[in-house]
Amino acid sequence: MLDTPEVSLVEYGVSVQNGFVPEVPPLRRLGDSYYSPWEEIVQNLPALIKAGTVRQAVDDLPVLSTENLQQEPEWRRAYVVLAYLTHAYIWGGEKPRDILPPSIARPFIEISNHLELPPCATYAALNLWNFKVPSEDTDLTDPDNLSVVTSFTGTKDEEWFFVLSVAIEVRGAQLIQLILDAIHGASVDDSQRVIGYLEQLNYGFVELGELLERMYEKCTPAVFYHQLRPYLAGSKNMSSAGLPNGVFYDLGEGQGDWHQYSGGSNAQSSLIQAFDIFLGVEHSATGEQKSHGKVQTPVRTGFMQGMRNYMPGPHRRFLEMLTHTSNVRNYAMSHKADSPLRDAYNAAVMSLGGFRDRHVRMVTRYIIMAARIPPPNQTSQVNLATTTSTLMDNSHDKVAEGVRGTGGTDLIPFLKQTRDTTKATASYVD
């Protein structure tokens, strides 16, 4: 392993062992009894949602101060709690609620500012900071060893959906050091070392893809689609689901603002974006729905770039550092098309493309196909699931254009373009 002293992973909140997942398991509950009103609701969240009383419970909350939050794990736990309460409040009724009360909005914005995150359910809230283990020496790369702390539905399907991402993150942690070593190897023109690292990355991407496919073991498409997915939706590009203006974060005393945020999305995984940056994959897809060949709303940056704003600040800065230092694609392109280095680089790119192939197939099964499965109980609710199903019912085509992802994208076209862009990064000719 080459020494890369110029990169301090600790500075970026990255663990050698766990990657972007904290080395110490997240708090299961805020210890200060002052925050018991939050914890009591969120611990009973599935039952409150099912009974249709979650909004009343939130409305009855006092406006709590954030002054009692001290250590980072406490700020993170508070962020997870308020993220779940926010999305349960917005989507936990017959129609979405577009005004978030001060009891949630005020502390959530303060906590989000501290963590450099938006006040919504991000990948960090749902995955990175929301798991528990039976013991400190638990193997986090096996999702069977993990469970969630907080849940919308209380189902095993939801738990499996989230803990599998945690396992993938930790399994991928070993690849972060390989990336840094490969960059250093390219900077000192050590092609043999770079080839070795690329070959290990190739194998690592295949392993991650195989782990991803374990989703089918314990997460049922119908449960994911009808019960969980509506609560993952954000407030951006959600007009069809009942939020044309987004959500008003009411701070009280006549203060507050309208906000539109993407919902929880795996595009907010710093690990996957780190792979793209390292390999020189540049995504331009915006995820916007097109009309007559034109994007409806002008977008200055691609969706993947925008998703970095939904990552914890240190993780976002790690990707920025990687963007400035990554040199392996240029180094590979400086060698002949049939050279071992180019072959190793192209193989790694195609393996990452293969990972995205698996993801596209999974999304098709869990969203596009699941949209045609009737809900377990007839409902008059308006949310991402019901509007997508209506769209699919009214469509005479098998093409799923117009189906929104939780992040607000035009889902399938966006994912396919992202996959194709990845594979196109490989170069077999000079």
Query: Which parts are annotated binding residues for heme b?
Result: 359
**What is the Cα–Cα distance from 54 to 348, expressed in whole angstroms?**
47
Residue 421, CB half-sphere, CA atoms under 13 Å: how many?
A: 18
- DSSP conformation class of 311: S
What is the sign, positive or negative, of the torsion defined by CA atoms of 165, 168, 170, 175?
negative
**What is the Cα–Cα distance from 176 to 201, expressed in whole angstroms?**
9
| Beta strand ranges found along 38-156 (DSSP E) | 99-100, 131-132, 147-148
| Token output for 412 | 């399938």
SS3 content of the chain, % helix, strand, coil (to 5): 55, 5, 35
- DSSP conformation class of 10: G
> What value does the CA radius of gyration of the chain take, rounded to a whole number of Å?
22
- DSSP conformation class of 23: S
Binding positions: 359
CB 205 within 8 A of CB 355: yes
**What is the Cα–Cα distance from 254 to 7, expressed in whole angstroms?**
46
Strand, helix or coil at 170?
helix
